[in-house]
Amino acid sequence: MKILGIETSCDETAAAVVEDGRFLHSNIVASQAQLHARYGGVVPEVASRKHLESILAVVDTALASASLDLRGIDAVAVTIGPGLAGSLLVGANVAKAFAYAHDLPLVAVNHLEGHIYANWLLPGGHQEESVEGTPRFPALCLIVSGGHTDIVVMEGHGHYRRLGQTVDDAAGEAFDKVARLLGLGFPGGPAIEKVAAGAGQSHLTLPRAKLKRPYDFSFSGLKTKVHRLVQGEEGTPPPLPELAVAFQESVVDSLVSAVLRAAKEQPVAEILLSGGVAANARLRQALSQRSPLPLRVPPPHLCTDNAAMIAACAYFRLQVGDVAPLDADVQPGLRIG
């Protein structure tokens, strides 16, 4: 079964064709990052206008790269939330129009669930199946993106039990805000990772938030600490590379500690990492070195927003007959678990 996936929840206009939830036929992502960089973050109105301009060309390219037209597609999947309302609406309306015009089932996908399903994709095509196998349940999932930081147990397809979440900033949001404080531009995650990688070790240690609920996260105190240091409120400001390393270590340590604790306390078979921050090499390295269980992490380009993960998730939703009505509304505040 070939599914056309569409993703426009934030600042990436994306379309992909995925077969049987695993095999990538095409994966097109038009990033708006450069457009938003001058504002230091995503401007919702600018994002939805740009989606509108790009979406049809992106879908056409995804179909052409898969050597298909819509007659070769079995279902249309789209991100329904969470995300920016105006941006979600562009993808949702285009998906509904295709589904209606070609009499195809429409599948409404939770973006956070989509991120997890990037772990089902085989980036290189059919031949890799035997190497990777499929994730086993129950799976411990850490979703770290620009808008969310959630730790959930996936009991089976579509069944999630949330253990914890961020009580303030998401991990990616913290990277973006601290990058702005350090004058490193947008998006902040890759910028901080690059500076930190060139700096080696830091003698500076930044705080890790201690919360009452063991699986919750907090990153806003860390951001405030960096702000105070940069402003010279605690003496001579440390060199920028030291700050980048210390900040990254603090975020990685908080995330890894929660995952390790959950891996010990919860009956789970393996760990699935996902979301834009999962592209971070230091996080990937720290988890793979310390994880007591098999760890699955998508390649970096499938960690950040894409439509292949949406099409992959939709395949498993369709297996249980989860077809959305054509008047399905977007859900900007949708959660998982």
Q: Tell me the closest approach of the beta carbon of residue 233 to ligand KG4, in angstroms.
A: 26
Cβ proximity to ligand KG4: between 91 and 187 the closer is: 187
Residue 189 binds which of Zn ion, ligand KG4, none (CB < 5-8 A, kind-dependent):
ligand KG4
Residue 280 binds which of ligand KG4, Zn ion, none (CB < 5-8 A, kind-dependent):
ligand KG4
Q: Does 176 bind ligand KG4 (CB under 6 A)?
A: yes
- Quote the DSSP letter at residue 197: H
Backbone angles phi, psi at 46, to 5 degrees: -65, -40
Cβ proximity to ligand KG4: between 26 and 280 the closer is: 280
Two tokens, residue 82: 């969470």
CA gap 39, 22 in Å, rounded = 37
Q: Tell me the closest approach of the beta carbon of residue 72 to Zn ion, in angstroms.
A: 28
Two tokens, residue 32: 């708006």
> In terms of Cα–Cα distance, which of 159, 245, 161, 170 is closest to 201?
245
CA gap 177, 185 in Å, rounded = 9
Cβ proximity to Zn ion: between 143 and 245 the closer is: 143
Cβ proximity to ligand KG4: between 188 and 337 the closer is: 188
CA gap 278, 320 in Å, rounded = 29
Q: Which stretch binds ligand KG4 (CB under 6 A): 63-71, 128-136, 187-195, 223-231?
A: 187-195
| Residue in the shown chain whose Cβ atom is closest to Zn ion | 145
Binders of ligand KG4 in range 3-42 (CB under 6 A): 10
Q: What is the 3-state secondary structure (H, E, C) of 54-97?
A: HHHHHHHHHHHHCCCCHHHCCEEEEEEECCCHHHHHHHHHHHHH
Judged by CB under 5 A, which of 86, 150, 305, 337 binds Zn ion? 305
Task: Return the residue matching tokens 């939770």.
Answer: 110
Q: Tell me the closest approach of the beta carbon of residue 74 to ligand KG4, in angstroms.
A: 26
CA gap 198, 281 in Å, rounded = 13
Cβ proximity to ligand KG4: between 150 and 176 the closer is: 176
Two tokens, residue 182: 């350090």
Cβ proximity to ligand KG4: between 9 and 26 the closer is: 9
> Angle formed by the axes of helices 188-199 and 281-290, to 10°?
70
Q: What are the residues binding ligand KG4 (CB under 6 A)?
A: 10, 145-147, 172-173, 175-176, 187-190, 193, 275-277, 279-280, 304-305
- Binding residues (CB under 5 A) for Zn ion: these are 145, 305
